[in-house]
Amino acid sequence: MSAKAVIAVLADLTKLHKTFNEIAREKTDVIQKNDMPALDVLIKKEGALIHQLRKLEQDRMIVVEEYLKSKGLVTEGVTMDQLLELAPKEEQPILTKIHRALMSEIDKLKQNNELNQQLIEDSLRFVNLSLDLMAPEPDDVTYQRPMQKNYEAGSSRSIFDSKA
């Protein structure tokens, strides 16, 4: 087996991450416009893509394992650098390029998701602030002694005679 299968799976992963990035940018616009129905649609699209990502990740693991077995090597804990060393010289530049592209897309997706998370947190703070301004705080509730009933008009003595 050649490294072409690995290259193909990595290319598919890169394309999928580009799609994730497009959705993340759309989510940024939707969040800024406060369009919750559109955000719901994008989240559902993302759910379908996550399913595809899981499948591609499984395919990647299988292809890499088969490639390494064809070379007679251990398949556990292999890094991309080690895989590059094992690839034929003519496929190494292609693998390097596709690996860099994939890592770049993953980094962009991380940044877009962090931005979206920050926008959502800011929106929640604004909503909470608005609610606090609209609902005034209740007056301090403290216990106060009820009005004293004077059993003896004008008398401020206690029931007990302290001189006795």
> What does the pLDDT average to over 133-143?
68
Q: How confident is the model at residue 154 (pLDDT cuts 50, 70, 90)?
A: low
> What does the pLDDT average to over 125-130?
85
Q: How confident is the model at residue 138 (pLDDT cuts 50, 70, 90)?
A: low
> What does the pLDDT average to over 31-43?
91
Mean predicted lDDT score pLDDT of the chain: 85
Written in H, E and C, the secondary structure of 75-127 is CCCCCHHHHHHHCCCCCHHHHHHHHHHHHHHHHHHHHHHHHHHHHHHHHHHHH
Q: Domains plus CATH for the chain?
A: 4-134 (1.20.58.300)
At residue 87, the pLDDT reads: 86
